[in-house]
C-alpha cells in the first residue's frame, strides 16, 4: 500500500487478513485508497477495483453493500475506512450478509488499525536503521576519509552538522557469542526506543551495537547509558558492556573515536570486566591492548610459566590488592583476612616460582603486566 506517504507491505496486510479470517470465519479484503484490492482471503479478488471501497476512502464513512455487484467489483458485506494517524490509508471489507457480519465490524476495524500502525512503525524504524547503517558505513567503518563535499551532503540529507562534539559508544551483550547473535536485534531496537528523541545514530556492527552521540559531559553520557542498561535488563534480562571512544568535533575524525571505543570494549570484555569503560582513562592499557597474540603468549609464558592454575588465581588477587594498597602488607592481609606473615610467605613463594619479587618496583611492573596479559591468552 502506498498512500499518503505511508507504506505497508502487501504480504503484511495479507497476513493480517489470514489471521482475522481464522477468528471471524468470513472472507476479508483490503483495498488501497484507489479501491484496488491489494490483499484478500479470496485470492481471485486480488487486483480487482472495488468501487465501493473507493467511495469509503473518499467519504470516510462505513458502507454496507446488500447485494453482489451493487458496486463494480463488490460483494455484499461491510466496508470500513482504515486510519493511521487520523489519515485514511485504506479500506477493510468483510464479505457476507450485513446482519451476520455486523458483530465483527468494530473489532475488525480496530484490530486492523492497530496492526497496521505496528507494521508502519516497524517499517519506519527499519528504514531508519538502514539509513543509520549507511551513515555508519561511511563515517566509521570505511578506511576512506570522507571529504568536504560528502560532509555538506550529510548535513543537507540527514541534518548531521560538522564541528559538533561527538563520541562513539561500542556496546555488546555479556556472554557467549551465540547469546549476542540471537539477541542483538532486540537490543538494537531497545537502544533506538530509549534514544528516540535524541540525535543519536545507532547501528549494528557484527554483534556490537555502535552509537554516535552528541557529547556534552561524562555525566550526561553515563545517564544515557544508565537508561539503556535499565531497559535492556528489564525487557530481556541481559547485561551489557559499554565502551566510549574519545571526543571528536570533525565528522571525518569519528572513525578514530570508533576504533578507540572498540579497543576499550575489547579490554573491558577480556580484562577489566567493567560495565562502562572510557578510552580516555587508558594509559598502560593503550599499549597492552595492542600487543600481538604471539608476543602476549611469549611474555606470559616467560614470566608466569611455573604457576599452577589455582596459584595464578590466588596471586592475581594479591597483585591487584598490592597495587590498590600501594604495597601495604597490613592493608592487603586485612582485606584477605590472613596474617601478615602468611602474606609475606606467599610473596616469597611467588618469587621462588617466577624469579620476580613484587616488592621491587621493576619486578612488580613485570608481574602486573603478565597477570593482566594472561587474561588475553
Q: pLDDT tens for residues 194-210?
A: 998 888 999 999 999 99
Q: Are 215 and 280 in contact (CB under 8 A)?
A: no
Q: Is 273 strand, coil or helix?
A: coil
185: pLDDT strictly greater than 60 = yes
**Residue for grid cell 587474561:** 375
Q: Are 158 and 146 in contact (CB under 8 A)?
A: no
Query: What percentage of residues in the chain have a pLDDT greater than 90?
Result: 57
* Residue, of 128 and 241, whose pLDDT is higher: 241
Which pLDDT score, from 0 to 100, does residue 86 have?
84
In the chain, DSSP finds a helix count (H) and a strand count (E) of 14, 12
User: What is the spatial distance between Cα 72 and Cα 281, in angstroms, rounded to a whole number?
Assistant: 73
β-pairing verdict for 208-214 and 240-244: unpaired
β-pairing verdict for 240-244 and 276-278: parallel
Residue 283 in any domain: the answer is: no
Residue 323 in any domain: the answer is: yes
Which pLDDT score, from 0 to 100, does residue 165 have?
95
* Residue, of 177 and 168, whose pLDDT is higher: 168
Q: Is the same domain home to 68 and 13? A: yes
Which pLDDT score, from 0 to 100, does residue 7 have?
57
Residue 288 in any domain: the answer is: no
Q: Is the same domain home to 273 and 331? A: no
Which pLDDT score, from 0 to 100, does residue 24 have?
80
169: pLDDT strictly greater than 60 = yes
Q: What is the pLDDT of residues 299-311, one digit of tens each?
A: 999 999 889 988 9
1: pLDDT strictly greater than 60 = no
Q: What is the mean pLDDT of residues 6-29?
A: 82
Q: How confident is the model at residue 176 (pLDDT cuts 50, 70, 90)?
A: confident
Residue 124, Cβ neighbours under 10 Å: how many?
12
Q: Is the same domain home to 93 and 58? A: yes
Q: Is the same domain home to 313 and 346? A: yes
Q: What is the pLDDT of residues 39-53, one digit of tens each?
A: 999 999 999 999 999
* Domain boundary residue, one of 278, 308, 330: 278
User: What is the spatial distance between Cα 245 and Cα 247, in angstroms, rounded to a whole number?
Assistant: 7
Residue 126 in any domain: the answer is: no
Max distance between CA atoms of the chain, in angstroms, equals: 101
34: pLDDT strictly greater than 70 = yes
Q: Is the same domain home to 13 and 88? A: yes
Which pLDDT score, from 0 to 100, does residue 315 have?
95
Q: Are 182 and 173 in contact (CB under 8 A)?
A: no
Q: Which residues contact 348 (CB under 8 A, 6 or more apart)?
A: none
Q: Is the same domain home to 273 and 146? A: yes
- Of residues 177, 174, 352, the one with CA closest to residue 276: 174
Residue 133 in any domain: the answer is: no
CATH number where 270 lies: 3.30.70.270
Q: How confident is the model at residue 148 (pLDDT cuts 50, 70, 90)?
A: confident
* Domain extent at residue 110: 2-120
* Domain boundary residue, one of 278, 304, 331: 278
Residue 127 in any domain: the answer is: no
Q: Is the same domain home to 238 and 183? A: yes
Residue 308 in any domain: the answer is: yes
Q: Is the same domain home to 259 and 305? A: no
Q: Is the same domain home to 155 and 233? A: yes
Q: What is the mean pLDDT of residues 342-349?
A: 95
Q: What is the pLDDT of residues 38-97, one digit of tens each?
A: 999 999 999 999 999 999 999 999 999 998 878 888 888 999 998 888 888 889 989 888
4: pLDDT strictly greater than 50 = no
Which pLDDT score, from 0 to 100, does residue 3 have?
42
CATH number where 102 lies: 3.30.450.40
- Of residues 148, 132, 136, 268, the one with CA closest to residue 189: 132
Q: How confident is the model at residue 177 (pLDDT cuts 50, 70, 90)?
A: confident
Q: Is the same domain home to 152 and 262? A: yes
Beta bridge partners of 297: none
Residue 137 in any domain: the answer is: no
Q: Is the same domain home to 155 and 103? A: no
Backbone Cα Rg of the chain: 31
User: Is pTM, for the whole model, over 0.75?
Assistant: no
Mean pLDDT of the residues in the chain: 89
CATH number where 328 lies: 1.10.10.2840
User: What is the spatial distance between Cα 311 and Cα 303, in angstroms, rounded to a whole number?
Assistant: 14
Which pLDDT score, from 0 to 100, does residue 256 have?
95
Q: How confident is the model at residue 155 (pLDDT cuts 50, 70, 90)?
A: confident
Which pLDDT score, from 0 to 100, does residue 352 have?
94
Q: Is the same domain home to 272 and 298? A: no
Q: Number of folded domains in the chain? A: 3
* Domain boundary residue, one of 62, 90, 120: 120
Amino acid at each position: 500500500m502506498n498512500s499518503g506517504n505511508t507504506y505497508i507491505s502487501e504480504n503484511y496486510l495479507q497476513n493480517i487478513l489470514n489471521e482475522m479470517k481464522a477468528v471471524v470465519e468470513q472472507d476479508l479484503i483490503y483495498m488501497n485508497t484507489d479501491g484496488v484490492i491489494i490483499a484478500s482471503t479470496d485470492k481471485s479478488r486480488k487486483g480487482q477495483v472495488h468501487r465501493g471501497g473507493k467511495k469509503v476512502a473518499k467519504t470516510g464513512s462505513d458502507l454496507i453493500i446488500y447485494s453482489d455487484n451493487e458496486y463494480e467489483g463488490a460483494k455484499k458485506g461491510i466496508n470500513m475506512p482504515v486510519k493511521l494517524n487520523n489519515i485514511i490509508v485504506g479500506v477493510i471489507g468483510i464479505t457476507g450478509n450485513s446482519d451476520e457480519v455486523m458483530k465483527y465490524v468494530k473489532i475488525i476495524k480496530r484490530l486492523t488499525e492497530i496492526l497496521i500502525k505496528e507494521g508502519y512503525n516497524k517499517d519506519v524504524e527499519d528504514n531508519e536503521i538502514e539509513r543509520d547503517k549507511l551513515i555508519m558505513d561511511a563515517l566509521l567503518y570505511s578506511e576512506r576519509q570522507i571529504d568536504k563535499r560528502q560532509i555538506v551532503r550529510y548535513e543537507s540529507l540527514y541534518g548531521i552538522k560538522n564541528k559538533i562534539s561527538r563520541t562513539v559508544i561500542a556496546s555488546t551483550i555479556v556472554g557467549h557469542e551465540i547469546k549476542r547473535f540471537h539477541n542483538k536485534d532486540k537490543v538494537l531496537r531497545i537502544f533506538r526506543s530509549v534514544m528516540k528523541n535524541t540525535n543519536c545514530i545507532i547501528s549494528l556492527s557484527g554483534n556490537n551495537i555502535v552509537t554516535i552521540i552528541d557529547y556534552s559531559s561524562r555525566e550526561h553520557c553515563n545517564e544515557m547509558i544508565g537508561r539503556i542498561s535499565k531497559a535492556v535488563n528489564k525487557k530481556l534480562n541481559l547485561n551489557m558492556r559499554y565502551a566510549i571512544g574519545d571526543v571528536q568535533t570533525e565528522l571525518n575524525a569519528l572513525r578514530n573515536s570508533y576504533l578507540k571505543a572498540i579497543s576499550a570494549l575489547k579490554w573491558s570484555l577480556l580484562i577489566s570486566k567493567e560495565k562502562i569503560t572510557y578510552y580516555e582513562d587508558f594509559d598502560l592499557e593503550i599499549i597492552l591492548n595492542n600487543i600481538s597474540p604471539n608476543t602476549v603468549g611469549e611474555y606470559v609464558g616467560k614470566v608466569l610459566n611455573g604457576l599452577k592454575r589455582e596459584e595464578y588465581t590466588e596471586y592475581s588477587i594479591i597483585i591487584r590488592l598490592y597495587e590498590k594498597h600501594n604495597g601495604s602488607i597490613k592493608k592487603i592481609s586485612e582485606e584477605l583476612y590472613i596474617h601478615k606473615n602468611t602474606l609475606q610467605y606467599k610473596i616469597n613463594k611467588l618469587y621462588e616460582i617466577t624469579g620476580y619479587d613484587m616488592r621491587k618496583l621493576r619486578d612488580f611492573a613485570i608481574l602486573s603486566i603478565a597477570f593482566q596479559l594472561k587474561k588475553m591468552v
